[in-house]
A and B are shown apart, each in its own frame.
Chain A
Amino acid sequence: MAVAKAINQLSNLVYRISCVIVVVLLAAMVVVTSLQIICRVFFTALSWSEELARYLLVWSTFIGAGCVYKTGGHIAVTIVRETLPKNAQKFLKILAHVLCGVFFVIATYYGFKYMGRQGSQLSAALRIPMRYIYMAIPVNSCVMLLHTVNEISQIINSKEVTAQ
């Protein structure tokens, strides 16, 4: 139980931090893209703005995906599941989370491996090592894995409560 509680707290903390970061990234995308227009019209065109905006999009996509996973907001077809009895529903929910968890493990493992292989390349305009961009995928897969484990433990614990 103590472990479950710790996981839950960690998952909530990561969620709150991710929400702040994703808003900052979206704001940064707006600023960078606006700056690109202003500089092109009034001064000279920026060479790095488009690349930066793209990388911000990559990061915000995967961080945002983690936030949405936590709140259960990813689009899913739940009509079939909802027609089943309560216990079967619970089982399918856990199964769905486990399968997603497997996907996150694969994405995390190969994400870090990919970072190791291709990470030392420099980006075209900003000259930053690509590992910092690729990192978005394994790091946030890890975050989603945390949320998944938390969800599964919550479902199992709630079963114990109803059984008592």
Chain B
Amino acid sequence: MTALLFSVFFLGLIIGIPIAFAIGISAVTVLINGDVNLLIIVQRMFAATDSFPLIAVPFFILAGDLLSRGAISHRLVTFADSLLGRIKGGLSVVSVIAGMFFAAISGSGAATTAAVGAPLIPELKKRNYREDSSIALIAASGCIGVVIPPSVPMVLYAVIADQSVTQLFKNGFLPGVLMGGVLIGVSLFQAHKYNYPKGIMFSWKNLWSTFKQSVWGLMMPLIILGGIFSGYFTPSEAAAVAVVYSMFVSLFLYRDLTLKDISKIMLGSAKTSSIIMLIIACSGIFGWVLANWKIPETVAMGILSVSTNKYIIMLMISIIILIAGVFMETSSAVILLTPVFLPLVQMLGINLVHFGIIFTVGISIGMITPPVAINLFVGSSITGIPIERISKAVIPYLVGLILAFLLYIYLPIFVPAIIF
């Protein structure tokens, strides 16, 4: 049954069936073959989508889309620039810091890339930064969007692995800062190599005025994350607050979006989240098939027969995650691979929250590895630079992020109390 399931799935993918339906069709084929009553498919599709934590998915997508279209992102970037612009290659540092900050508001990598890229690119051009390298850096910083909370892939993982969304969110900061630090390091090195200029003189007055202009945006992470971690909101409720807040700011305070714009943005976000949610629905059937025929246990036994060393197996898993990220879109990879890996990870005695973070970090890197590289596509559509050139320019940042990923995986060897 394992062979049938995966061969139908991959065959379906190769002939170009959308991933959600390839999942559904392969699972149904196995069900028909195993003589199972097909009523189960409706029941599983319903049960998979009927979940309150998953409401955070459309909401965080919508909040991210609203913010990346509106003036909030412009003002945040200006503020970061007045804070750090003085350094040689300061705008590169601003790209990363703005990306990290945006990550604390939005839950997706594409929204983060768009939000930071749109206001920064004209400025970078004006100051003679290399355009391909700059947009590559912004795309790489976009990966942090799903690592620093809130995060759509973490919500998906938490629901599938039955872990607490809040706990995953709490543990996202460390790797997020780690990734940001590595990217800043690489970008400063690049700044010296290409001899980037220094930015505007630092002045308290300038800092204060840009701070005042961006204060509504700066307050957002406090409200969203503060609300979640204090236990005041559930993550889904916080996501709704993020939507209402960004609508309110855009409509009444900054007045940069009209109701018509908002309904257009809402349609786009509803479609994006339906794509993810439909994959969830279909993998409800898939997950049932996996569990019924004990397929993840078979996979686990196969891997354990190669090695039983926890760290070697983690290396194998992380390579699989990175490869999956090359060919698959972030959310689909999380939805599909989590149930496959879970029994193996449990057998190894790895903390499931820690594994969720590892998974998120690893798969986030997939957003800048072509052919399936959403952040590079967003970067290319903002700048008009062909994707091949950005792909080449992203390599140093990619290497940096992979190093940060490996560092985070093996950190528990040195610092046992990494998960809290």
The chain A residues found within 8 Å of chain B, CB to CB, are 19, 22-23, 25-27, 29-30, 33-34, 36-37, 50, 53-55, 57-58, 60-65, 67-69, 71, 73-81, 92-93, 95-96, 99-100, 102-103, 106-107, 110-111, 113-114, 117, 133-134, 137-138
Contact = CB atoms under 8 A, between A and B. Distances in A.
Given A64-B274, A74-B21, A107-B42, A55 B50 contact: yes
B257 interface: no
Contacts of A79: 371
Contacts of B371: 79
A31 B267 CA distance: 16
B12 interface: yes
Interface string B253-295: 0000000000100110111011101111100000000000000
Given A64-B271, A75-B18, A100-B21, A137 B59 contact: no
A64 B277 contact: yes
B38 A106 contact: yes
A93 B17 CA distance: 8
A43 to B, nearest CB: 16
Given A81-B16, A107-B42, A134-B46, A61 B51 contact: no
Interface residues of B, number: 56
Interface of B: 12-21, 24-25, 28, 38-39, 41-43, 45-46, 49-52, 54-55, 58-59, 62, 233, 236-237, 239-241, 243-244, 263, 266-267, 269-271, 273-275, 277-281, 327, 329, 332, 371-372
25 contacts: A22-B271, A33-B59, A37-B233, A37-B240, A54-B55, A58-B49, A58-B50, A64-B275, A65-B275, A68-B278, A76-B13, A76-B16, A77-B13, A77-B16, A81-B15, A96-B12, A96-B15, A99-B17, A99-B25, A103-B21, A103-B28, A107-B42, A110-B42, A114-B42, A137-B45
Nearest to B31: A106
B386 to A, nearest CB: 17
Main SS of the interface on chain A? helix
Given A61-B278, A100-B25, 11 more contacts: A23-B270, A30-B240, A30-B244, A53-B52, A64-B275, A65-B281, A67-B270, A73-B275, A77-B372, A100-B17, A110-B39
B101 to A, nearest CB: 24
Contacts of A92: 15-16
A59 B267 CA distance: 15
A87 to B, nearest CB: 14
Max chain B C-beta neighbours (<10 A), residue from A22, A36, A50, A77? A77
Nearest to B61: A26
A61 B21 contact: no
